[in-house]
Amino acid sequence: MVKVQSSTSGYPRIGGKREWKRALESFWNGATSEEQLLKTTETLRLESLQKQKEFGVDLIPVGDFSLYDHVLDTSIMFGVVPKRFEYAGGKVPLETYFAIARGTKDAVASEMTKWFNTNYHYIVPELEGVTPQLVENRPLAFYKEAKEKLGIDGKPVILGPVTYIKLAKSFGEENFSTLLQQFTPLYIEVLKELVVAGVEWVQIDEPILTSKLTEEDFQHVQQAYAAIHEAVPQLKIILQTYFEKVANYEAVVALPVHGFGLDFVHGDSLELLQKYGFPQDKVLAAGVIDGRNVWRADLDKKVTLLEEIQLHVDKSRLIVQPSSSLLHVPVSTETEEKLDPIIKGGLSFADQKLAEIVLLSRGIHDGTETIATGLEESRNALARLNNSKYRQNVEVKETIENLTEQDVNRSLPFAKRIIEQQKRFNLPLLPTTTIGSLPQTPEVRQTRSKWRKGEITNEAYEQFIKDQIDKWIEIQEDIGIDVLVHGEFERTDMVEYFGEKFEGFAVSQFGWVQSYGSRCVKPPLILGDVAFSEPITVKESVYAQTLTTKPVKGMLTGPVTILNWSFVRDDIPRFDVLNQIAFALRKEIEELEKNGIRMIQVDEPALREGLPLDQDKRESYLDAAVYAFKLATSSVENDTQIHTHMCYSEFSGIIKSISALDADVISIETSRSHGEIIAAFENNTYDKEIGLGVYDIHSPRVPSKEEMKQNINRALKTINPKQFWINPDCGLKTRKEEETIGALKIMVEAAKEVRESQLATLKN
Q: Are 60 and 116 in contact (CB under 8 A)?
A: no
Instruction: Dump strand ranges (E) for 633-729.
Output: 641-646, 665-668, 689-692, 724-725
List helix spans (H) across 494-648. Answer: 496-499, 538-545, 559-564, 574-594, 618-633
Annotated binding site for L-methionine: 435-437, 488, 603
DSSP, res 485? -
Number of helices (H), then strands (E), belonging to the chain: the values are 27, 21
| Separation in Å, CA 479 to CA 240, 465, 484, 503, 748 | 51, 21, 11, 39, 7
Active site residue 698: yes
Annotated binding site for 5-methyltetrahydropteroyltri-L-glutamate: 18-21, 114, 519-520, 565, 609
Annotated binding site for Zn(2+): 645, 647, 669, 730
Q: How far apart are CA 471 and CA 477, in angstroms?
A: 10
Pairing mode, strands 503-506 and 525-531 = antiparallel
Q: How far apart are CA 143 and CA 203, in angstroms?
A: 12
| Separation in Å, CA 441 to CA 102, 472, 719 | 19, 13, 36
Q: How far apart are CA 506 and CA 509, in angstroms?
A: 10
The CA-based dihedral angle spanning residues 225, 231, 235, 236, taken in that order and rounded to the nearest 10 degrees: 20
Exposure pattern of 450-471 as b/e (b: 16+ CB <10 Å)? Answer: ebeeeebeeeebeebbbebbee
**C-alpha radius of gyration, the chain, whole number:** 26
Annotated binding site: 18-21, 114, 435-437, 488, 519-520, 565, 603, 609, 645, 647, 669, 730
Q: How far apart are CA 195 and CA 202, in angstroms?
A: 10
Q: How far apart are CA 32 and CA 24, in angstroms?
A: 9
Residue 570 burial (10 A CB sphere; 0-12, 13-18, 19+)? middle
Task: Find the catalytic residue in 121, 365, 643, 698.
Answer: 698
Q: What are φ and ψ of residue 350, in 5° steps?
A: -55, -50
| Separation in Å, CA 750 to CA 211, 333, 432, 712 | 41, 49, 10, 8
Q: Are 320 and 4 in contact (CB under 8 A)?
A: yes
Nearest CA among 508, 575, 490, 498 for reference residue 532: 498
Give helix 70-77 / helix 94-102 axis angle, nearest 10°: 130
Q: Are 391 and 342 in contact (CB under 8 A)?
A: no
Annotated binding site for L-homocysteine: 435-437, 488, 603
Q: How far apart are CA 120 and CA 49, in angstroms?
A: 22
Catalytic residue annotation? 698
